[in-house]
């Protein structure tokens, strides 16, 4: 199962995956998922934005009649960052299917439906909004705002949905969540904290994405004296340095991973630099003070450079503490699996914040690397993850 989806959207040169929401490669991965559900006689439900839950309800639900009652849902996402790894997302979806297979082989009959979910555009790599599908489903992002989001070619979500054959009018809070009694997401560990094959998440760090727009004066690279320049690239560079320093001081994370430069010519001082900051910290107050410090230093530098800077928060998610009772129930089922926080955002965080009892399992990542073609997990640890997920689903659905 793993092999046949792991060729989808993979770059032959870098070995990385690029599956932006509603792009051909992500649609191909979604089609693969639907095939897998069909071969397992799972009843698939979709919502307006394309989130999917495939139900196993052996109490006689035939195909096409989704189960009644709230079920236990597991799953993750099939989209990826640009040139990302093989495991971030797909491991959770494939493990969910494999765990259902195992429970069926073991002759287990759940007393409530078990759902396998695949949630769209979790990385936000195309439209810039992390957990886009789950945020809309949970009603924390309005359909209007979501549909107006555009990708780097200026294509709106509404147009992309239409191109993928989905009517944008259906986008909005999702009926799928009415049947999500409990949600458990299995995910490859991102970072290197696990000393055992499988761990349980305690919390998700607060996470913000901020657009910094630096504006200056375009001019000739060869004839403009250094002291006469108003160079937004300089202001950006000093801000990036300040962000790095402030994050180190706060034990936080600050990343400028994406830039847009105008006019983007080798022999012209730029007129504008747009830089996207991804910032995360162990608690909300630290994230807030980190942003204030970075913004303050950007403004001070802009005054020196005769440039301007504007900062717009594009998405900010507060800390998510997973419910302790459910978390400890999983630890018990897994005979004392280690518990650890994560600095990575997840659909599980959105569902937990929406009040759905939610937990996460992590599968050990020996290098800790993620959002990179080098992302890796040992096969034995992945199999241990499936075992753990099956045991948890059995405990929650019996």
Residues near ligand HGY, by CB under 6 A: 88, 122-123, 130, 344-345
Determine contact, residues 337/200, Cβ cutoff 8 Å: yes
Binding-site entries for Zn(2+): 77, 88, 123, 187, 371
22-30, 44-52, 205-213, 339-347 -> range binding Mn ion (CB under 5 A): 339-347
Minimum Å gap between C-beta 344 and Mn ion is 6
Minimum Å gap between C-beta 187 and ligand HGY is 8
Binding-site entries for allantoate: 209, 267, 280
Collapse the DSSP code of 155 into the 3-class scheme (helix H, G, I; strand E, B; otherwise coil) and give the result: coil
2-10, 11-19, 136-144, 346-354 -> range binding Mn ion (CB under 5 A): 346-354
Q: For residues 67 and 133, which CB has a smaller minimum distance to ligand HGY in the complex? A: 133
The token duo for 237 is: 């560079």
| 208 binding Mn ion? (CB under 5 A) | no
| 21 binding Mn ion? (CB under 5 A) | no
Residue 196: phi, psi to the nearest 5? -125, 165
Q: Which residue is nearest to Mn ion (CB)?
A: 346
Minimum Å gap between C-beta 14 and ligand HGY is 18
Residue 345 contacts which entry, ligand HGY, Mn ion, none (Cβ below 5-8 A, type-dependent): ligand HGY
* Residue selected from 21, 71, 89, 133 as contacting Mn ion according to rule CB under 5 A: 89
| 79 binding Mn ion? (CB under 5 A) | no
The token duo for 54 is: 């495939």
18-26, 237-245, 277-285, 345-353 -> range binding Mn ion (CB under 5 A): 345-353
Residue 47 contacts which entry, Mn ion, ligand HGY, none (Cβ below 5-8 A, type-dependent): none
| 349 binding Mn ion? (CB under 5 A) | no
Give 177's DSSP letter. Answer: G
Residue 189 contacts which entry, Mn ion, ligand HGY, none (Cβ below 5-8 A, type-dependent): none
How far apart, in whole angstroms, are the C-alpha atoms of residue 271 and residue 215? 6
How far apart, in whole angstroms, are the C-alpha atoms of residue 64 and residue 317? 36
Determine contact, residues 50/120, Cβ cutoff 8 Å: yes
Closest CA to 146 of 50, 32, 254, 285: 50
Minimum Å gap between C-beta 32 and Mn ion is 18
Beta-carbon contacts of 332 under 8 Å, excluding residues fewer than 6 positions away, are none
Minimum Å gap between C-beta 124 and ligand HGY is 7
Binding-site entries: 77, 88, 123, 187, 209, 267, 280, 371
| 346 binding Mn ion? (CB under 5 A) | yes
Q: For residues 93 and 100, which CB has a smaller minimum distance to ligand HGY in the complex? A: 93
Other CB atoms within 10 A of residue 257 CB = 11
Residue 130 contacts which entry, Mn ion, ligand HGY, none (Cβ below 5-8 A, type-dependent): ligand HGY
Give 226's DSSP letter. Answer: G
Q: How far is CA 332 from CA 78, 309, 326, 339, 392, in A?
A: 29, 51, 10, 11, 10
Minimum Å gap between C-beta 139 and Mn ion is 19
The token duo for 181 is: 């009694």
Radius of gyration of the chain, Cα coordinates, nearest whole angstrom:
22
How far apart, in whole angstroms, are the C-alpha atoms of residue 329 and residue 316? 30
Q: For residues 117 and 216, which CB has a smaller minimum distance to Mn ion in the complex? A: 117
- According to DSSP, the residues that pair with 360 across neighbouring strands are 185
CA trace torsion 227, 229, 233, 236 (10° rounding): 70
| 88 binding Mn ion? (CB under 5 A) | yes
Q: Which residues bind Mn ion (CB under 5 A)?
A: 88-89, 346
């Amino acid at each position: 199962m793993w092999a046949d989806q792991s060729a989808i959207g993979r770059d032959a040169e870098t070995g990385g995956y690029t599956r932006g929401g509603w792009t051909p490669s992500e649609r191909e991965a979604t089609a693969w998922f639907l095939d897998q559900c069909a071969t397992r006689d799972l009843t698939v439900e979709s919502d307006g934005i394309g989130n999917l839950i495939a139900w196993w309800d052996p109490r006689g639900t035939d195909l096409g009649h989704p189960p009644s009652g709230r079920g236990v849902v597991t799953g993750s996402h099939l989209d990826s960052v640009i040139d990302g790894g093989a495991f971030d997302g797909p491991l959770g979806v494939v493990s969910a299917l494999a765990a259902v297979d195992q429970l069926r082989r073991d002759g287990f009959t759940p007393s409530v439906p078990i759902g396998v979910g695949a949630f769209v555009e979790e990385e936000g790599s195309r439209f810039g909004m992390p957990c886009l599908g789950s945020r809309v489903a949970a009603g924390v992002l309005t359909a209007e705002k979501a549909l107006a989001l555009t990708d780097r070619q200026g294509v709106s979500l509404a147009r992309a949905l239409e191109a993928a054959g989905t009517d944008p009018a259906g986008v909005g809070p999702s009926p799928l969540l009415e049947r999500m009694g409990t949600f458990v997401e299995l995910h490859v560990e991102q970072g290197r904290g696990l000393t055992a094959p499988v761990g349980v998440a305690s919390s998700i760090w607060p996470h913000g994405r901020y657009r910094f727009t630096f504006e200056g004066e375009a001019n000739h690279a060869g004839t403009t004296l250094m002291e006469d320049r108003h160079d937004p690239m300089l202001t950006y560079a000093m801000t990036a340095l300040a962000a790095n320093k402030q994050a180190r001081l706060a034990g936080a994370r600050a990343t400028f991973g994406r830039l847009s430069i105008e006019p983007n010519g080798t022999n012209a001082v730029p007129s504008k630099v747009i830089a996207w900051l991804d910032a995360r910290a162990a608690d909300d107050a630290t994230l807030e003070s980190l942003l204030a410090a970075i913004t303050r230093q950007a403004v001070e530098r802009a005054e020196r450079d005769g440039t301007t800077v504007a900062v717009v928060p594009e998405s900010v998610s507060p800390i998510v503490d997973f419910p302790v009772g459910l978390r400890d129930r999983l630890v018990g089922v897994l005979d004392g699996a280690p518990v650890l926080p994560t600095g990575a955002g997840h659909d599980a965080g959105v569902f937990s914040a929406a009040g759905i009892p939610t937990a996460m399992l992590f599968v050990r990542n020996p290098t800790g690397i993620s959002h990179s073609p080098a992302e890796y997990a040992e096969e034995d640890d992945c199999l241990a993850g499936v075992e753990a997920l099956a045991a948890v689903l059995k405990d929650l659905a019996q």
